Amino acid sequence: MEVKRKNLLVWILALGTFGVTNTEMGIMGILPIVSQQFHVTIATAGELVSYFAFIIAVSGLFLPALLSRFDKKKIMLLSIGLFVFSCLASVFIKSFSWLLIVRLIPAFLHPVFVSYAMSLASSLAKDSAEASRFVSKIFMGVSAGMVLGVPLATMIANYGSFQLVMLTFALINALIFLACAIFMVPLKEEQALNFKDQMKTLFKLPTLLALLSIILLNGAVFSFYSYLSDFLGKVSLLGSLTISFLLFVYGLANVLGNWLAGQLLALKPQMILFGLPLVMFVPYVILYFVNQNLSLIFVLILVLGTFAGMEGNLNQFIMNKALSKTPDLANGLFITGANLGTTVGSAVAGQFIVNWGTKSSLIAPIIFLSGAILIILMSQRKTV
């Protein structure tokens, strides 16, 4: 495949991950509107987010591997098509129960689409260095979806309605569907391991260590990020506009981190594997002791966002290194581990806050990073 066509396909795959992530995260920005329109509590409305994440975590364990023997183009088109259907159906639904059901349908294939996008991007590369750069573009799509999803949905809802938000997301995913249908070629891996053989590798020690390291690394990032706005308001005493700006900076820095990790993992993967978890300690420790200097806070948020983006790429690298012969399973497990890390990290930091106050949320990432470093050191002695 010629270079221009390869680059075009990688960016289309990145756009696809942007679309599904944008739809996944965007609902978070309009939960109060959902609560009001469907006459449910904000906690009940939050089930649209928590159940979605739970399904991703579970289906990521086996669906990418189970469906790997089929044409990836057809599976990915089915995934995007379900997102389009879900968004369009949500426009006409009046019951929250039906909204929840329709919302959760595409969640099952969400990790399949993202996993296959990463696998395809990597397979297009001529060597491991180019593979790292291609995969970093997929991560940029994910990060952009996370950055833009919430503010985009919030803005549209404020000037329009819940229905307009869903129509916008449907349009975005429909355009991605068309791009994938036109530019992707049918792809069926004749030599792929069967599902039973892939599942056997799931229970090998290197795989379990890789999964645990991803849970701990992502737990470190999201244990603090989940409560970042609360920290900036209660500890740093910043106003809502400043907090919104800093959250946006954090998101943009994620994209920068994805790109940077793609370059560095291509050149010095071992340095990033051991070095990144170590340097991630620094901004958390500084922020714990110096948390009311706006200029320093801006720099630290920029650094934390960049490290968070790099950490996402590193997680994918760790799992693919452990399961190099089964990339679809590897990427599915990466998605599962990342979602479990988010859930566990936010829960642990939440308990710190309940018992010792908002500032103590900075202790959680330090604990998670310490555990991650130990697991990474252990995993280097094991091979699949």
Taking only the tens place, the pLDDT of each residue in 316-347 is 889 988 887 787 788 888 888 888 888 888 88
For residues 109 and 233, state if they share a domain. Answer: no
Q: How far is CA 166 from CA 19, 98, 111, 133, 163, in A?
A: 12, 15, 21, 33, 5
- The arithmetic mean of pLDDT across residues 286-312, rounded, is 93
**104 within a domain of the structure (yes/no):** yes
**384 within a domain of the structure (yes/no):** no
The domain that holds 287 is classified in CATH as 1.20.1250.20
**pLDDT for res 24:** 82
**pLDDT for res 161:** 87
**190 within a domain of the structure (yes/no):** no
**pLDDT for res 154:** 74
- Sorted by sequence, the CB contacts under 8 Å of residue 178 that are 6+ apart come out as none
* 249 CB burial (10 A radius; 0-12, 13-18, 19+): middle
Q: Provide the strand spans (E) within the chain.
A: none
**164 within a domain of the structure (yes/no):** yes
For residues 161 and 214, state if they share a domain. Answer: no
**pLDDT for res 188:** 63
- Sorted by sequence, the CB contacts under 8 Å of residue 318 that are 6+ apart come out as 210, 213, 214, 273, 334, 376, 379
Point out the least confidently predicted range of 197-206, 213-222, 241-250, 366-375.
Answer: 197-206
**pLDDT for res 45:** 85
For residues 215 and 164, state if they share a domain. Answer: no
Positive or negative CA dihedral for 319, 320, 325, 328? positive
**188 within a domain of the structure (yes/no):** no
Domain limit, last residue, from 133, 154, 183: 183
pLDDT band at 275 (very low <50, low <70, confident <90, very high): very high
In the chain the first and final C-alpha atoms are separated, in Å, by 32
What's the rounded Cα separation, in Å, for the pair 31 and 42? 7
For residues 163 and 295, state if they share a domain. Answer: no
**pLDDT for res 382:** 57
What's the rounded Cα separation, in Å, for the pair 284 and 132? 28
What's the rounded Cα separation, in Å, for the pair 197 and 256? 37
Domain limit, last residue, from 155, 183, 211: 183
What's the rounded Cα separation, in Å, for the pair 241 and 239? 6
- Sorted by sequence, the CB contacts under 8 Å of residue 43 that are 6+ apart come out as none
Can you tell me which residue has the tokens 């946006």?
248
**Greatest Cα-to-Cα distance within the chain, rounded to the nearest angstrom:** 58
Q: How far is CA 125 from CA 11, 130, 162, in A?
A: 13, 5, 41
Point out the least confidently predicted range of 86-90, 125-129, 372-376.
Answer: 125-129
- The arithmetic mean of pLDDT across residues 71-90, rounded, is 93
Structural contact between residues 115 and 328, judged by C-beta atoms closer than 8 angstroms? yes
- Model confidence pLDDT, tens digit, residues 227-254: 888 888 889 998 878 887 888 888 889 8
- Label residue 188 left, alpha or beta by phi (over 0 means left) and psi (-120 to 50 means alpha): beta
Element (H, E) at 10: helix 3-26
**189 within a domain of the structure (yes/no):** no
Q: How far is CA 61 from CA 15, 82, 211, 282, 331, in A?
A: 24, 20, 11, 33, 9
Structural contact between residues 206 and 382, judged by C-beta atoms closer than 8 angstroms? yes
Rounded (10°) CA dihedral 325, 308, 280, 121? 30
Can you tell me which residue has the tokens 């959902």?
34
- The arithmetic mean of pLDDT across residues 115-129, rounded, is 83
For residues 174 and 201, state if they share a domain. Answer: no
For residues 308 and 203, state if they share a domain. Answer: yes
**pLDDT for res 384:** 45
For residues 245 and 159, state if they share a domain. Answer: no
Closest CA to 26 of 151, 123, 195: 151
What's the rounded Cα separation, in Å, for the pair 84 and 202? 32
**147 within a domain of the structure (yes/no):** yes
What's the rounded Cα separation, in Å, for the pair 319 and 206? 9
Say what percent of the chain tops pLDDT 70.
95
Structural contact between residues 319 and 214, judged by C-beta atoms closer than 8 angstroms? yes
For residues 95 and 241, state if they share a domain. Answer: no
* Count of domains for the chain: 2
- The arithmetic mean of pLDDT across residues 267-285, rounded, is 92
The tokens describing 169, both together, are 């997301």
For residues 201 and 308, state if they share a domain. Answer: yes
Domain limit, last residue, from 129, 160, 183: 183
For residues 202 and 341, state if they share a domain. Answer: yes
Is this prediction's pTM over 0.85? Answer: no
- Give the chain's mean pLDDT: 86
pLDDT band at 25 (very low <50, low <70, confident <90, very high): confident
What's the rounded Cα separation, in Å, for the pair 350 and 126? 45
Q: Which domain holds residue 257?
A: 195-379
Q: Is residue 208 over pLDDT 80? A: yes
Q: Is residue 168 over pLDDT 80? A: yes
For residues 59 and 91, state if they share a domain. Answer: yes
Phi (first) and psi of residue 181, to 5 degrees: -65, -35
Query: If you ran DSSP here, which 8-state letter would residue 161 be given?
Result: -
Say what percent of the chain tops pLDDT 90.
35
What's the rounded Cα separation, in Å, for the pair 209 and 257? 24
For residues 227 and 319, state if they share a domain. Answer: yes
**249 within a domain of the structure (yes/no):** yes
Q: Is residue 381 over pLDDT 70? A: no
